[in-house]
Amino acid sequence: MRRHGIPVHAERRRTVPPRLVDAATLTDLYVTQRLDDAEIGSRCGVPAWRVTKRRRELGVHRPVSTVVRAWLTDAGIPVKPRTSREHRKHLDPVLIAELYQEREWSSAQIAAHQDVTVNLVLRTLHDHGVPVRHGGPPPRHPDDDEMDPRLTALYADPEITTLLRRHRIPRRNQPGTITERFPTAAPVTEAFLREAYVDIGLATTHIEQLTGQPMERILSLMHAHAIPVRPPSFSPWLVRQRQQSRTQNLGSKRAAQTLIRRR
């Protein structure tokens, strides 16, 4: 300041007398009462930086949050779960839509499968425009000794059987769960996925039933091969199946009505 011609006040700066705080007192104030350095300094009549320096000299630190939570748990004190945004679990909307629409699982079954709440499943469906069914009993699943009707429809499609034969994927149309039918999942290639998903319009759940590969892995492979994933909706193959079923039902109804008139 003198070198640059800045005037210096004549009065002497008042020095703060050092006040040493013992480790026990500082631990009680900082760790137990959870006062910050400024609050402790105000009580002791010293600046906050002196408190910080003294804490470091004595090695007084607050334990990390995980240790505190462990202490509380050991003491039998209930601890609220973390609810910050980064701890919320996000669900794959494509996977949830396929479980809900294609496989016709209930929201409760999906929640149990994904280890989340039913509300999170329903919120995912609503946020991505998937129509939610009215409440009621969960759909009946086929028994182990009974063939899944949808699996029967898949193997009855000549386009699908040709695809499986061309890629040497075994035909496993016996009753049972997927793991029972496929003790070892059939390997799938990029070409197979493109033909099955893009050309034929199968859903990942259908591919899972035909290959034994988990649909989570199927989705991962599709992303790895840059195969575009459809937005949550019914698969083109299932739409065609339902249209054919309605046409057949309509034809049967008209034939029955014609037979009644003739009688």
Q: What pLDDT, in 10s, does the model give residues 200-248?
A: 999 888 998 899 988 888 888 998 999 998 877 778 998 888 888 777 7
Q: Which among 252, 256, 186, 170 has a CA at the least distance from the CA of 218?
A: 186
Distances (CA, A) of 239 to 112, 122, 155, 245: 28, 23, 17, 10
Q: What pLDDT, in 10s, does the model give residues 89-107?
A: 678 787 888 788 777 778 8
Is residue 93 within 8 Å of residue 229, measured between CB atoms? no
Distant-in-sequence, close-in-space partners of 41: CB < 8 Å, separation ≥ 6: 47, 48, 50, 51
Number of domains the chain is built from: 3
Is residue 215 within 8 Å of residue 100, measured between CB atoms? no
Residues 118 and 41 in one domain: no
Q: What pLDDT, in 10s, does the model give residues 20-66?
A: 678 888 888 888 888 888 888 888 888 777 887 788 778 787 765 44
Residues 157 and 194 in one domain: yes
Q: What pLDDT, in 10s, does the model give residues 103-149?
A: 777 887 787 677 678 888 888 888 888 888 775 544 444 444 455 67
Residues 194 and 229 in one domain: yes
Distance, CA of 163 to CA of 165 (rounded, Å): 5
Give the residue numbers spanning the domain of 199: 149-237
Q: What's the pTM?
A: 0.48
Residues 58 and 99 in one domain: no
